[in-house]
Amino acid sequence: MFDLYNRKIDYIRVSLTERCNLRCVYCMTEKGIEKICHEDLLSYEDLYKLLKTLSKAGIRKIKITGGEPFVRKDAIDFIKLLKQDSSFEKVTVTTNGLLLDKYLDSLIEMGIDGINISLDSLREDKFKRLTRGGNLKLLIETIDEILNRGYENLKLNTVLMKGVNDDEILDFARFVEERNMAIRFIELMPIGEGRAFKPVKREEIMEVISKEFGKPFEIRGSFGNGPAKYVSFQDFNGKIGFIDAVNHKFCSECNRIRVDSKGFIRFCLQYEIGMDTKEYLKGNISEAEFLKKLNLKIVEKPLENNFLIEDVDSLSMNQIGG
């Protein structure tokens, strides 16, 4: 499937739920989300049907997200179902990691293609404050357990905010250097609760790390489905990645769409442009009609985001599986 700008769309982010066991300050309000009617949530059967159909349009890579995907009952069984399906080349998961200890055996046994864990502070008091209740000790134990088992496709996702956790840049670098793993600094998005904080630019992060570890060199090659750009340093065990959609746009290379837990396919993180899938899932149109409609609608996928000059809609990150 190609859009109007000849970008090959082969990757989908799938939100299993808007719910989360944390309330991270840039993602959700302290009270969380309003109660969702069960009828509005896509069943696993419908979601699988949708993804199988999308595979016929060229979707080959799936990222499972939330909210927190593992707060939804039987999420691990659904992930396993997708992993066993030869229609999909890669199935990965993004999680806050605090429920992973229950599912780690299953994920490793099924051969999950990637695990991304959010980690926004290495200081217990700050971590608890940023997540509104998270257990840092448990999270680090889980990270180390994954690494001790020899699993190599683990990455950390860190959102830096000025005056909040940007004083921990070197702490994060040393943390991954000690473990010979990858961290991606994800630029804060001006969406929902995130608009209350100020982002930290790639150049600012690199200046701090380079003073400690020397001149960086770019690491070329693919380390996942996404747009991260990685660097490392001489005698540094680990990778430092950047995903900064605002100040370093990668829209020209965008290969993704999103589907939320209610079945709305979203073509761009910033805009509500997309299509509802309920008409198809309820049997009101055929698979062929749905695919035809999708191919006609995909041309509406924007050329690029305009976060620097336009406000975003009112949705929060947990609602769109950002």
Spatial contact of 274 and 265, defined as CB atoms under 8 Å apart: yes
- Helix/strand/coil for 61: strand
Evaluate if residue 308 carries a pLDDT over 70.
no
Neighbours of 82 (CB within 10 A): 20
Give the pLDDT confidence of 42-75 residue by residue, as tens digits. Answer: 999 999 999 999 999 999 999 999 999 999 999 9
pLDDT at 313: 53
pLDDT at 110: 98
Spatial contact of 97 and 156, defined as CB atoms under 8 Å apart: no
Q: At what angle do helices 169-179 and 136-148 cross, to 10 degrees?
A: 30
Confidence category of residue 35, pLDDT binned at 50, 70, 90:
low
Closest listed residue to residue 301, CA positions, set 264, 274, 263: 274
Q: What is the mean pLDDT of residues 257-269?
A: 94
Q: What is the mean pLDDT of residues 206-226?
A: 87
Which of 103-112, 247-256, 279-288 has the lowest average pLDDT? Answer: 247-256
Q: Which residue has the higher pLDDT, 51 or 192?
A: 51
- Class for the domain spanning 11-320: alpha beta
What percentage of the chain reaches a pLDDT higher than 90?
A: 79
Evaluate if residue 288 carries a pLDDT over 80.
yes
pLDDT at 29: 85
- The residue written with tokens 């959010």 in the block is 118
Q: How do beta strands 90-95 and 61-65 pair?
A: parallel
CA–CA separation, 276 vs 297, rounded Å?
11
The residue type found at 137 is K
Evaluate if residue 321 carries a pLDDT over 80.
no
Spatial contact of 294 and 56, defined as CB atoms under 8 Å apart: no
pTM: 0.93
Q: How far is Cα of residue 104 from the mean position of the Cα atoms in its chain?
A: 19
Beta bridge partners of 91: 62
- Helix/strand/coil for 185: strand
Q: Which residue has the higher pLDDT, 50 or 303?
A: 50
CA–CA separation, 51 vs 83, rounded Å?
12
Beta bridge partners of 264: 276
Helix (H) or strand (E) holding 91: strand 90-95
Evaluate if residue 289 carries a pLDDT over 80.
yes
Give the pLDDT confidence of 87-135 residue by residue, as tens digits. Answer: 999 999 999 999 999 999 999 999 999 999 999 999 999 999 999 999 9
Mean pLDDT, all residues of the chain: 92
Tokens linked to 221: 């090659």
Q: For the chain, which residues make up each domain, given as ranges?
A: 11-320
pLDDT at 125: 97
Tokens linked to 124: 């217990």
CA–CA separation, 84 vs 111, rounded Å?
9
Is 37 buried (19+), middle (13-18) or exposed (0-12) by CB count in 10 A?
A: exposed
Q: What is the mean pLDDT of residues 7-32?
A: 93
Q: Read off the DSSP letter of residue 311.
A: -
CA–CA separation, 185 vs 200, rounded Å?
9
Tokens linked to 172: 């994060």
Spatial contact of 227 and 284, defined as CB atoms under 8 Å apart: no
- Sheet with 114-118: list strands edge to edge: 216-219, 229-233, 239-243, 182-186, 154-158, 114-118, 90-95, 61-65, 11-15, 256-259, 264-266, 274-276
Helix (H) or strand (E) holding 294: helix 287-297
Closest listed residue to residue 24, CA positions, set 188, 251, 171: 188
Evaluate if residue 39 carries a pLDDT over 80.
no
